[in-house]
Amino acid sequence: MSSTRERIGILGGTFDPIHIGHLAAARAAIECAQLDRVLFVPTGQPPHRPVAAASADDRLQMTRLATAGDERFAVSDLELRRPGASFTSDTLRALHELHPQADLFLILGWDAARLFRTWHAPDQVRRLATIVVVARPGSGSPQPADLDAAGLDGGNVIVCVDSTPDVSASAIRRDVMSGRSVDGKVSPAVKQYVTDHGLYAG
């Protein structure tokens, strides 16, 4: 058994619902940053976003269903159990306590990463984790000047240029509300869960 530290990716999100783009971002980060596994962390109350349409429990269950087929994926309910706004710096500190022998890598799509400078305690976040930026469709791959403008200049940043599928949770919610198919956008298990629980139906 190697004595090297485990490399754990952290992928947070509302996951309302979790879709194939989230899973593709996790797999891209595993390859690009040589991660051992990715921990999906559904957000409680994200500071930058409106309240989720689905309940915390529904979002947690969908995340578990979507990630169940890959042994490199795990799910944490850490933020869902914590009251108040979910700040990434608090989450990373808690995860360091839970995994003291691991190095943490925070996985961000470029659409979220370009706002990094506006986050709560961005300097703390960068001390606690290496930032892994995954290219998103339509937002391109960030250049050094883009990273500098976002507060992600210098070391401790890994850029993954493999683009992920052009899928968004808001579009999926609109599809469900309008009765359009979401085949190929979410896993079959998540699609079934949405149907069985009447989520996003308006």
pLDDT, tens only, 93-146: 999 999 999 999 999 999 889 999 999 999 999 999 999 999 877 666 788 899
* Residue 114 domain-assigned (yes or no): yes
Q: Which residues contact 178 (CB under 8 A, 6 or more apart)?
A: none
* Residue 141 domain-assigned (yes or no): yes
* Residue 186 domain-assigned (yes or no): no
Q: Residue 160's domain is classified under what CATH number?
A: 3.40.50.620
42, HSE (Cβ side, Cα atoms, 13 Å)? 26
Q: How many domains does the chain have?
A: 1
Q: Distance between CA atoms of 151 and 88, rounded to whole angstroms?
A: 16
Helices 56-67/188-196 angle, 10° precision = 150
How sure is the predictor about 67, in pLDDT bands with cuts at 50, 70 and 90?
very high
* Residue 98 domain-assigned (yes or no): yes
* Residue 156 domain-assigned (yes or no): yes
**What is the model's pTM?**
0.93
How sure is the predictor about 47, in pLDDT bands with cuts at 50, 70 and 90?
low
Q: Distance between CA atoms of 125 and 113, rounded to whole angstroms?
A: 12
Q: Distance between CA atoms of 34 and 39, rounded to whole angstroms?
A: 14
pLDDT at 1: 45
Per the structure, the complete domain to which residue 117 belongs is given by 6-169
pLDDT, tens only, 72-84: 999 999 999 988 8
